[in-house]
A and B are shown apart, each in its own frame.
Chain A
């Protein structure tokens, strides 16, 4: 008899809870916009966070709600952006393809170290110990926080400075956030020249840090006919919208740190030395 009651009561309990859940799922049904799903499918799905949202799903929702533009994802292919614009029924505004650029030339041979670091192989950990082992407070620490932040496997460390593989870089910007020095910047993909240094200290100080630091001599500024390169705060910076890629500043730089890139096929060929 006890067993019978047990069976009956548990059947009742199960059915009641089941019915309650079924009713609740009707009452509390949330309509999800089907476009969110469609847009999610067009996004790369790496959840890199470069767009400023917590992941691709969050961006898809923001696009549908009109809080983000269909071209907000830097990592997506151009035809994916086209497709997303189609789903949203707005015309594709296009966007400038960006790439990550490490603004430091201070490899092992050039940058002076102030101590020997033997801790966790992580830039953020090293940056807490007096700002890293390089004397230069602006340069790449070279322990690869950006390497692990990159969802596309595009960064590697070469001679103590991070280098970006431009075939793989999607310009998502995740590495720029991960770098404790802020040495990685997003620049337009087809920028011909950039200054491979961020040292905003007086020339005399920079000379002590590094063989290849910018000491703000302004020779590049004088050489430029297009007003595109300016020395501000002791550091040269290029205005990528004005730069025509004439190579004059490259020839003028005594430190040889104005880098150049040449489009070749799908990728870029990066050169630093004057030829």
Chain B
């Protein structure tokens, strides 16, 4: 008979990970959950309030407005960045010395710290001294992003497109380079048009990386904070107050910990659910 000894000491090996995860994820998250169901007063006095803050946030017009702005912003930049990124990747050279030049140029915006991007574009777009601002006004348009909501949106979107399209380009380019030459040769022999080559070879082969690109761009843009904060500060008025900017205003400006915590959790759930929907939709056909 073979005796089976039970040795529980192996648990000690996972202890460091458990501690680490507890401190950087579980405890902060549970603190937020804790705040979200309590009313906070000075001197660390708390009252249990149940789902009151959740109801308040979900019925608040301010939250609806921020959420709508956030959804529009994310929708617009996805609609611009994904097709533009794919188009640039298709136009990039496949081989030769220009490949590395293009790749480096593409990677540059990604290497710039986010608040620097905001500051750069702030100065770049100022109507009186900025190059872009002067140019647009010089062409006869009345443009001032610090005062006109439309101009503020235009500038924020342009900034995000400049900053992040490269990521889509690099991912799409990686997808394109993984296509063996035989596919293009077979398509030529089959008499496929360049649209067919794109539709039936390039696009399907890029599908996985594009799924990643859409997910990354969705999550990142949905959580965008630094760049609009530096560029417009959420203004003019509340025109570019996206969810995270609004959240910071509630949590740190007004110090309403309960509503802020409830909003954080709702925010988190929205991102989670939307990411899942995106992923499921884009991978729908993969299993068959």
**Do A and B associate with each other?**
no
Please give the residue numbers on chain A whose beta carbons come within 8 Å of chain B beta carbons, in ascending order.
none
